[in-house]
Structure 1
Amino acid sequence: MIAPNTATDAAADAPAVRKRTVFAWSLWDWGSASFNAVVTTFVFSVYLTSDSFGPEQVVSAKLGTALLIAGIVVALFAPVIGRLSDAAGRRKTWLGINTAIVVACTALMVLVAPAEQYLILGLVLLAVGNVAFEFASVSYNAMLGQISNNRNVGKISGFGWGMGYLGGIVLLAILLVGFIFPDVGWFGVTSEGAWNIRVAMVLAAAWFGIFAVPVFFAVPEIPVAAEYHGAGRGILTAYADLFRSVRNLWRTARQTLFFLIASAVFRDGLAGVFTFGGVIAARSFGFDSTTVIIFAIAANVVAGLATILIGMFEDRIGAKSVMVSSLTLMLFCGLLVFLLNPLGSWVFWVFGLLLCIFVGPVQSASRSFLARLIPPGKEGEIFGLYATTGRAVSFLAPAGFTLAVALGGSTIFGILGIVLVLIIGLLLLLPVRAARVP
């Protein structure tokens, strides 16, 4: 069995955290939609795979390779950064540094002009931004234990994820009205030279930077650990400590380790949905950039509302039940998108949107499931392992997508590679036993 998190269980009776603190924390999720929705999913990644940067299959393969390299970097360093930030009492500091890097990379995407010689610059900015975003997410997710208890962690986690989706709706709507729809957008911006896309990246950067600020004032910094002896010594011993932590999980909380492995696989499948969803819509269903963004807005609406709604019941029905049922329904929808592809774009509108309903609840439930198991002071380290186990297999979705496209000869086959990753993750999750909640 998973050893109950007695410290967290005891915290279940602690005074409730102020709602304004939870709201300030969730605004980081709201702002991060600028990177998740605009950069990696619906706008910039689709722009990078356009004909301006080369043949479809070549550019899609290079995109997958860039994200694979980013995943390897995260896998190597995420748990060390999480452990050191916990020990040094620098959780907010590292969140701030990595958030700033993401904002800077997003802003610099304005330099990526629609020509083949700019593809590498775009891929580098996307990869570096992904690495920094994952590092920032380690610190941000670790804060969940500071603002919740065992009785409301699912609700608060769901609220945060939902805020992210809703933030994506608002930002994408602004970009659509201000830059994508009109022939001449705000500030006189047009599609010539792809300036409508490039200026949108500057706005996305400002969006994240502004909404990331409140969390630094609302959530207190954690104290320095008694065993902390400085960053230099910490770096030299961090990996040895990490392996000891994994061995300790194997001895005392084996189910937690099994969950880290299972979630790593299905979360990579979810990442594949976000990363390649816009590309599939554009290349396989003929969506132009405007239609992709309209779909993105609709997808964020259903995903955000579903995540908040299901999060309100998750603490009662159980996080594992949410994950298993949602993954099963995602598989069904993904297969229908592939099989019914010849029938036209309505297939992606119907079953793509149905699939999006279940993505957010899986992400939120996975985060809250793990948060219930972590003893105080270890949040950054365990969420670092959460990121690392995810990135250790981060080649699965890009490799599955790339291989399926190569074997099938067109982008639509990529969805089969993503579906396969989700199936493996679901099968690994089924035997995992949930923690006992008092």
Structure 2
Amino acid sequence: MTATAAGPTGPTTIIPRTRVLAWGLWDWGGAAFNAVVTTFVFTVYLTGKSFGGEAFVSAQLGWTLGVAGILVALLAPITGQRSDVSGRRKFWLAVNTYIVVVVTALMFFVEPSPSYLWLGLLLLAVGTVFFEFASVNYNAMLTSVSTRATIGKVSGFGWSMGYFGGIVLLLIVYFGLIHPAPDGDNGLAVRLSMLIAAAWLGLFALPVLIAVPEYTAPAASRREKVSFFGSYVRLGHDIARLWRTSRHTVYFLIASAVFRDGLTGVFTFGGILAAGTFGFSAGEVIIFAIAANVTAGVSTVVIGRLDDRIGPKPVIVGALVGLVICGLAVFFLHDAGQTAFWVFGLALCLFVGPAQSASRSFLARVIPAGREGEVFGLYATTGKAATFLAPTAFAIFVTIGGAQYWGILGIVLVLAVGLAVLIPVSAKQPELS
């Protein structure tokens, strides 16, 4: 990939394809935590009967992840800001990533017994916090491997690598360990999966650390170092200046927080709806999950190129409109059987990846050199601040309608609200200063 600039606003240079591939491989490796630890394997294992009553364990899991989310919301902008100032963005990506690697490997020691529940929850919380910190540094590096002409394509490439990496790793751990695992194996299949996931992330995190140069802030944008608590004072001043000078960036952070939670809800509750409302077996849910990741990955690559041609906002708006329409179709066709869910469920996945990727590229286009970590930290914070929306809306509509499929309307509502907040945001806004 031949490109100009060390970032969208940087000096002219050449960005080789190998550097872009190395950056994207971190997303491929990150699937180990996203898909195996927090979605399909470890959290399912942890909420099983071996660790206690379903309601009790599920509640503790919710509280644990809630506390982790609060810590991310409070600390992500500061850790991002300090990596910008120190000029050690890649260094902190390495530190945060390999803390996650170690924590994931330690999950091997969580045996299926109530006495190990709190160890499992603690490791999950710590891993979640540091994976989010690593993601802030990783997202901030997008401008080091792309230009204004390629940023959408590169962002889409990264997201798609995450989807495809998740597919490959799920196939390995599910068919290699979990699916044939006999009863009474003391959770060994899942525990060994955690070692594989740790090795997967550790291995595929190496290329970005080797091939992508460390960030160096331009002289004009360098800022003096301050204490940890002084960073909060600086953050307050920066947010106030951001509100004065680029208010639409603030609006976008708010809008993206809402619709990104809706996007998360599509995957979070998709499996639940497939099994509960449409009668999928456990094996069929896994097959659908793989198909969903393939669909999302391919569409993200293809539409990432459209992002560079027409801009990220039309991509996001189009994707959200498509999600609302397909979500309503799933709701109204809930009695039509599995075929309806296969068609419109996969159609939902068709739009999820492009919306996520274009959201990242939209923000990256307006961040000045030297403040990527800080602003992507705010991106993480606003996202965490809104994580209650989709689950709460899902629960409210299920309660109102008295059936699981009514929860679809809750997710659709969150997506529609995010779309409504996004529409007034100007796509051509001044760069931050």
Q: With structure 1 as the length reference, what TM-score do the two structures score?
A: 0.88
Task: Give the Cα separation in 2 of the matches to 1:30 and 1:48.
Answer: 24
Q: Say if 2:248 is the partner of 1:250.
A: no
* 1:283-302 to 2 correspondences below 5 Å: 283-302=276-295
Deviation at 1:196? 2.4
User: Could you say which structure has the greater relative contact order, defined with CA pairs below 8 angstroms and 6 or more residues apart?
Assistant: 1
Residue equivalent to 1:136 = 134
On the 8 A contact 1:64/1:399 being kept in 2, the answer is no
Task: Give the Cα separation in 1 of the matches to 2:404 and 2:52.
Answer: 15
Task: Give the Cα separation in 1 of the matches to 2:229 and 2:314.
Answer: 41
Deviation at 1:56? 5.3
Residue equivalent to 1:3 = none
Change (3 A) 1:350 1:78: same
The one-letter amino acid paired with 1:435 is K
The one-letter amino acid paired with 1:290 is G
Q: Say if 2:201 is the partner of 1:203.
A: no
* 1:4-23 to 2 correspondences below 5 Å: 10-11=9-10, 14-23=12-21
Query: Match for 2:123 among 109, 122, 125?
Result: 125
Query: Match for 1:316 among 309, 326, 333?
Result: 309
Change (3 A) 1:197 1:8: closer
Between 1:337-346 and 1:356-365, the stretch displaced more is 337-346
Between 1:80-89 and 1:341-350, the stretch displaced more is 341-350
Task: Give the Cα separation in 2 of the matches to 1:398 and 1:65.
Answer: 14
Task: Give the Cα separation in 1 of the matches to 2:122 and 2:356.
Answer: 26
Between 1:124-133 and 1:413-422, the stretch displaced more is 413-422
Gaps of 5+ in 2: none
Q: With structure 2 as the length reference, what TM-score do the two structures score?
A: 0.89
Change (3 A) 1:9 1:100: closer
* 1:72-151 to 2 correspondences below 5 Å: 72-151=70-149
The one-letter amino acid paired with 1:83 is Q
The one-letter amino acid paired with 2:148 is N
Task: Give the Cα separation in 1 of the matches to 2:136 and 2:378.
Answer: 9
Residue equivalent to 2:163 = 165
The one-letter amino acid paired with 1:164 is G
On the 8 A contact 2:9/2:369 being kept in 1, the answer is no
Residue equivalent to 2:344 = 351
Change (3 A) 1:275 1:60: farther
Q: Which secondary structure does the structure 1 equivalent of 2:149 belong to?
A: coil
Query: Match for 1:382 among 371, 375, 378?
Result: 375
Q: Say if 2:62 is the partner of 1:64.
A: yes
* 1:128-277 to 2 correspondences below 5 Å: 128-182=126-180, 192-223=185-216, 229-230=224-225, 233-277=226-270
Q: Deviations over 1:134-162 (max 9, x none)?
A: 11110000001111111110011111111
Gaps of 5+ in 1: 1-5, 185-189
Task: Give the Cα separation in 2 of the matches to 1:127 and 1:346.
Answer: 37
Q: Say if 2:413 is the partner of 1:420.
A: yes
The one-letter amino acid paired with 1:297 is I
Cα RMSD between the aligned structures? 2.7
Query: Share of identical aligned residues, percent?
Result: 57
On the 8 A contact 2:110/2:117 being kept in 1, the answer is yes
Task: Give the Cα separation in 2 of the matches to 1:297 and 1:262.
Answer: 29
